[in-house]
Structures are given as C-alpha cells and as structure tokens.
Structure 1
Amino acid sequence: MIGVPLVTHGEIGTALLASASQILGGAPAQVMTLSVWRQDDPDDLVLRARELLERLDAGDGVLVLTDIFGATPGNVVSRLLDDGHVEGVSGASLPMLLRVLTARNGSLAGAVQRALSGGAEGVVHMNSDRCLDA
C-alpha cells in the first residue's frame, strides 16, 4: 500500500485527514501529517519529513501531498523526491486526498494521476444550473 504523508502549513493536513477519516468511516492506514509553522527550521523539517516517509513506506512508495508549490512545505518535500519511489503533488484538497486514499493498492504513478485528477475535478464553478443537476 502506498504511504501518504501530508506536509502542510499549520493544521491544514490534520484537518484534511480528520475530514477524510470521517467520510471513510475510520482513520486510513499509512497516512500521517507534518505541520509546518513559521518558526520551524527548514533543515529540521527535512529531517522530520524524511523520518515520516520512512515510517510510511511499506515498499510500494510514498505519495506526499502538500498545500502550496514553492512555499516551505513544498520546498521541504522537493528535497526528498525520488522518482518512482517518493512522489509529490501540491495543491492538497479533500477531493484529492479521498481520490488517493481509495486507490492506494495500485502503482505510485497511478496514485499521482488520481491525485491530480481528484484535485482538478474537485474545483467546480457552482451555479444554479449545475446545482440543480446534482
């Protein structure tokens, strides 16, 4: 099973995981969060993130979700990427997380694609026509 760490500003990852757990009916295995705060040292964060990845990797790889590309959480993750073994996707959202959590027994590349599609398809302009069709 693919491990899924969430590396985000503040409690964003914690809130996403709590919401996903509620929707799925329980806490998913091999998912943990790393909260990044303004005062955190980036080098220390890299060490903590590396430890998190090691804990979550059961041999099938790790897909790290982060909130903002180019910000500290994403920069920390970028220092740990290892193509085909540790992949990262920014723009973490609840639709993205749910899509990944419901398909973690396939390939890591497939999980990356599901994260991207979940994130993109989760952004919808809601208008009266669309809401009436739902």
Structure 2
Amino acid sequence: MTGILVVTHGEMATGLMDSLSLIMGDQEDYQTLGLKHGDDIVEFSEKIQAGICELDQGEGVLVLVDLFSASPYNQAAMSFNKLKDHKYRLVSGVNLPMLIEAFNQRMIGADLETMYQAAMNTGKDGIKEFLEEMAKLNS
C-alpha cells in the first residue's frame, strides 16, 4: 500500500485528516506533521524523513505539503538525496479534494504515479468560484 504523508504549517495537516475521516472513515498508513513556532528545522526534516521511511512499504509515499517552496516543502525536497532507497512524490498545495482523491486512488489500488497525478488534477479542479460556475450553467 502506498503511504501518504501530509506536512503543513501548524495543525492544518491534522485538520485535513480530521475532515477526511469524517467523509471517508478512518484511514491507515498515513502520517501528519505540522511545523510550529520554535520547532527546530533540522528535527523537522528528520521527522519528515522518518515518516517517509516508516510509510514506505515498497510502493512509495505520496508527500502532500501546503505551500510550494516553504519550509515543509523545502525540507521534504532536500530529503531526496538522503532517501534514495525510498520512492516518493512531493506535491504542494494540499487541499481536501486532493487528499480525498489520493485516498480514493489508493483504495482502488492505483500506483504512486497515478495517485499523485489524479490528486493534483482533482486539487486544481476543486477550486471554483460561485458566480463563475453559475455563469457556466446559464450559458
């Protein structure tokens, strides 16, 4: 089973998983990490690496972070060289539709490549504005 690691600033990762469990039920083979004020960045990086190692059961890990080029993303990206024996994909901009899609893909047995692509597409497609959507319906 492909592991899923959600890494964000603060408690966002925990909150996303709380929402996901409300919608999809309890899940397994995932972890959440949140960077908080005063956290040591080296220790945070080590936690990311440990999470990837623990979650990788041979099928890889999908790492979802909140912001591109911010600390959670950077620490996961800088870990690639240290984790050459582990396969993982790093995707920024995590949102609830993306997370649901990742878990849905995993449930149907999709591989890591399919999971990350489907999650990215769903994450992007899940961003809508009410008046624009209403205009599409009326045209």
Secondary structure in 2 matching 1:98 = helix
Matches of 1:5 and 1:43 in 2, distance apart? 18
CA distance in 1, matches of 2:5, 2:33: 7
Correspondence 1:119 to 2:118: no
Q: Which has the larger radius of gyration?
A: 2
Please give the TM-score of this superposition, normalised by the length of structure 2.
0.87
Tell whether 2:128 aligns with 1:129.
no
Mind listing any 5+ residue stretches in structure 2 that lack a counterpart? none
- Backbone CA RMSD of aligned residues: 2.0
| Aligned residue in 2 for 1:4 | 4
**Deviation at residue 131 of structure 1 after TM alignment:** 9.7
Residue 103 of structure 1 aligns to a residue in which SS? helix
Cα displacement string for residues 56-82 of structure 1 (whole angstroms, at most 9, x for unaligned residues): 111100010000011111111111235
Match for 2:91 among 80, 89, 101?
A: 89
Question: Hey, what's the Cα distance between the residues in 2 that align with 1:2 and 1:20?
Answer: 17
**Contact 1:80 1:86 (C-alpha < 8 Å) held by counterparts:** no
2:56 touches 2:86 (CA, 8 Å); kept in 1? no
Cα offsets for 1:74-129 (capped at 9, x unmatched): 11111123598111000000000000000112221111101111110110111272
AA matched with 2:124: A
TM-score (norm 1): 0.90
**Structure with the higher helix share, 1 or 2:** 2
Q: How many residues align?
A: 132
1:54 aligned to 2:59? no
Residue ranges of structure 1 left out of the alignment (5+ in a row): none
User: Structure 1 residues 84, 52: closer, same or farther in 2, change over 3 A?
Assistant: closer
